[in-house]
Structure 1
Amino acid sequence: MTDLVLREDRDGLATLTINRPDKLNALTVAVFEQLHEHVLRLATETERIGLVVLRGAGKCFSAGHDLADISAGERPPKPSFQADVIEALASLPQPVITAVHGHCYTGALELALAGDMIVAAESAKFADTHARWALTPVWGMSQRLPRRVGIAKAQEMTYTARTYTGREAVDMGLANWCAPDAGFDAELEKFARSILANSWFSLRANKRLYMETEGMPLRAGLSYEIHRTEGRGPDMQARIEGFKNKTSKVS
């Protein structure tokens, strides 16, 4: 079977790569099936994987939902399968970064929004083109996009179906940062390593807090944080001792 989604693990970082470069990584049921297998496995590997990156092979992240697949009559293994896979990716215990270069259109944007953070190369092109094809979203666009950029900007993207650059994505809050294509991989590696250097316990616990309190009124969210926080991690004392030792050597 062709590997439509590749996985590479390196020093706590798992990189998933959509691997249909000849089709601009257009998303098919088969792509989602393989992505689902990787996500299920990653959810059980919190002790050896602290961070996940999702990206695309070749010229772009993904041109979106494969229109040929739609017109041929898709047969997912169950209703709402693709949406469920995206939700499983978004719900991974580990933080998820979506790294976008080139096209990131419609279904691909819905997939990208599963990332806790989106980072962009200058070549990135983001768009919600559902309206161009007489379609409406079923993979989460109407819910995740306005939570990321605000309702007014989300409506602008949806109603115009226009394309936004990586720099524009940063300006609207869709992407966390944008870098020139030539240095994108190096910046992504540096960013990922800065996250992985922190406590993986804290990364997972803070992600749960963000997920579980999203949409709560302020008082309810504060109460949740106070009474249901996970507190100190098993590596806290070692980290404090390491810091003390480091500072004593400097002094």
Structure 2
Amino acid sequence: MDQVRIAREDAGGLCTLTLNRPDKLNALDTAAFEQLDAHCAALEAATETVGCIVLRAQGKAFCAGADLGAVGLDRHGQPVDPAFKPGVIDRLAALPQPVIVAVHGVCYTGGLELALAGDFILADATARFADTHGKFGFVGAWGMGQRLSRRIGTPAAKRLMMTARPVLADEARDLGLVDMLVEAGGLDALVQSLAAEILANSWHTNFHAKRMLRETEGMGLAEALARERATYPGNAPDHKERIARFNQR
């Protein structure tokens, strides 16, 4: 039986996916991508039961990046379709549910590309981020250039990509790479707090907001407004009950 590279746990509308290869600093091999792909397929169909997703990691690091001993190879040592792994990260980014990524320790290269697929990156003070593709002569293929530059701007993305310099947690927050930062030991509580706020909001509203922002990214204002209005989904099925509860406070 294959090792569980990515474990899943569900509770109260929250799905937690945990990178589970701590002895390798959660380095990503093909088996990890296969399991993540299967989780994404299940979550795409679980919009009635899952309203928020957390991606976190076991051990002392979030993810050291790609498993260099298995780059381009499957578990049997055979070549992998080069479109498979970036396609899985794209699938994670396109999930209808909001995705919170919880980072502690190193989040390097492929691990950073994975984190950038989330909607929110939360971190504690131990977090360190880097793009080390250039150290090894690799060129990022899992979305680094596009997602990193959109998150922190082109000049800062160039600096990270062209130097391989690690960025500490407080600088990552200042760059806008990290949305919320907490002291070491406080990450779980911070994640649970944000997840609870998201889950308390209308899932219908959250899913539409995520889809609309994704679909209109890069558009001019007029085109984006036209797309938003053309795909307007209407109010949530429970909006009257929500208003009634508000009025009864």
Does the pair score TM above 0.5?
Answer: yes
Structure 2: segments with no counterpart, 5+ residues: none
- Count residues with an aligned counterpart: 246
Matched, 1:85 2:88: yes
Aligned-partner residue type, residue 135 of structure 2: R
Aligned-partner residue type, residue 44 of structure 2: A
Partner of 1:163: 166
Task: Tell whether the 8 Å contact from 1:104 to 1:125 is kept in structure 2 after alignment.
Answer: yes
- SS at structure 1 position matched to 2:160: helix
Structure 1: segments with no counterpart, 5+ residues: 247-251
Q: Tell me, in whole angstroms, the C-alpha distance in 2 between the residues paired with 1:128 and 1:177.
A: 20
Pairwise CA RMSD: 1.4
After TM superposition, where is structure 1 displaced by more than 6 Å over at least 4 residues in a row? none
Point out the more displaced range, 69-78 or 2-11. 69-78
Task: Tell whether the 8 Å contact from 1:56 to 1:62 is kept in structure 2 after alignment.
Answer: yes
Taking structure 1 as reference, are residues 176 and 221 closer, same or farther at Cα in structure 2, changes over 3 Å only?
Answer: same
Deviation at 1:36, TM superposition (A): 0.7
Aligned-partner residue type, residue 99 of structure 1: A
Give the fraction of aligned pairs with identical amino acids, expressed as a percent: 48
Matched, 1:236 2:201: no
Point out the more displaced range, 220-229 or 155-164. 220-229
Partner of 1:58: 59
Matched, 1:147 2:170: no
Matched, 1:25 2:26: yes
Superposed CA offset, 1:55-79 (max 9, x none): 1111111010111112878646533
Q: Tell me, in whole angstroms, the C-alpha distance in 1 between the residues paired with 2:73 and 2:234.
A: 51
Matched, 1:117 2:102: no
Task: Tell whether the 8 Å contact from 1:29 to 1:76 is kept in structure 2 after alignment.
Answer: no
Partner of 1:249: none
Query: Aligned runs of 1:99-248 on 2, under 5 Å?
Result: 99-246=102-249
Q: Tell me, in whole angstroms, the C-alpha distance in 2 between the residues paired with 1:111 and 1:51.
A: 17
Deviation at 1:219, TM superposition (A): 1.4
Q: Tell me, in whole angstroms, the C-alpha distance in 1 between the residues paired with 2:68 and 2:231.
A: 45
Partner of 2:39: 38
Partner of 2:12: 11
State the TM-score, normalizing by the size of structure 1: 0.95
Q: Tell me, in whole angstroms, the C-alpha distance in 1 between the residues paired with 2:120 and 2:39.
A: 19
Aligned-partner residue type, residue 226 of structure 1: R
Deviation at 1:43, TM superposition (A): 0.6
Task: Tell whether the 8 Å contact from 1:13 to 1:52 is kept in structure 2 after alignment.
Answer: yes
Superposed CA offset, 1:206-246 (max 9, x none): 01110110000111112222332212111111100010111
Q: Tell me, in whole angstroms, the C-alpha distance in 1 between the residues paired with 2:233 and 2:187.
A: 35
Q: Tell me, in whole angstroms, the C-alpha distance in 2 between the residues paired with 1:186 and 1:72.
A: 38
Q: Tell me, in whole angstroms, the C-alpha distance in 1 between the residues paired with 2:183 and 2:13.
A: 26
